[in-house]
Chains A and B, each alone.
Chain A
Amino acid sequence: DTAVSQTPKYLVTQMGNDKSIKCEQNLGHDTMYWYKQDSKKFLKIMFSYNNKELIINETVPNRFSPKSPDKAHLNLHINSLELGDSAVYFCASSHRDSRGYTFGSGTRLTVV
């Protein structure tokens, strides 16, 4: 199936831990994104990468570090997790010639 896939789907962890979320797309898109959806359902961009290069960093704390080993993958590593990091994180991809963005199914992160 052509898609944007992210893992894990659910992540429950304690404050202070470090965790990673992985994202892969097989759509041939050249740009990938991380979005955060807060408890009020508001979706906001965190990062975007184009061909492995960081393009957008929307005033996200340094504890969040995206890594793009190739243009089909964009991972998100979070250090020293805080309660306020609890949210749903969505990966997405697009291409300059494509018709819109495609989103992954989301990772629900709960920090306890």
Chain B
Amino acid sequence: GIQVEQSPPDLILQEGANSTLRCNFSDSVNNLQWFHQNPWGQLINLFYIPSGTKQNGRLSATTVATERYSLLYISSSQTTDSGVYFCAVISTQGGSEKLVFGKGTKLTVNP
């Protein structure tokens, strides 16, 4: 099945710093999502981005489907950005599809 790898596994930042999270996937995809799991455990959908670039406030994401990677940019990080960031892609096998997650990047933003 499709493999999803995220890097780095852990990231510690000072408030105000910028960061880039990376997601590599092993096969072509037509759906990619970025999620933020906050310290209370909620999974929040950040971007649906199978290709191209999107921006939402201080966050933006770029997916280069032909090269099988996606990047999540966080600018001017805040303590509320802390949590785990997951990349997930659709895997289709035998006519059924499922969302396959990477292992996440744990981000800690210190004041």
A: which residues have CB within 8 A of B? Answer: 33, 35, 40-45, 48, 55-56, 58, 88, 90, 92, 94, 99-103, 105-106, 108
Contacts and interface: CB of A to CB of B under 8 A. Distances in A.
Which secondary structure characterizes the binding site on chain A?
strand
Contacts of B96: 48, 55-56
Interface string B18-31: 00000000000001
A45 B48 contact: no
Contact of B31 (A42, A44, A100): A100
Contacts of B37: 41
Interface stretch (B56-64, B65-73, B98-106): B98-106
Given A48-B98, A99-B48, A88 B41 contact: yes
Given A100-B31, A100-B33, A100-B48, A45 B98 contact: yes
B65 to A, nearest CB: 15
Please classify the interface of chain B as helix (H, G, I), strand (E, B), loop, or mixed, using the class held by over half of its residues.
strand
A95 B94 CA distance: 18
A101 B45 contact: yes
Interface of B: 31, 33, 35, 37, 41-43, 45, 48, 84, 86, 88, 96, 98-101, 103-104, 106
Given A41-B103, A48-B98, A101 B41 contact: no
Contact of B99 (A40, A88, A92): A92
Given A35-B99, A42-B101, A103-B45, 7 more contacts: A33-B99, A41-B37, A56-B98, A92-B99, A101-B33, A101-B99, A106-B41
29 contacts: A35-B99, A40-B103, A41-B103, A42-B104, A43-B86, A43-B88, A43-B101, A45-B99, A48-B96, A48-B98, A55-B96, A56-B96, A56-B98, A88-B41, A90-B43, A92-B99, A94-B99, A99-B48, A100-B33, A100-B45, A100-B48, A101-B33, A101-B45, A105-B41, A105-B42, A105-B43, A106-B41, A106-B42, A108-B41
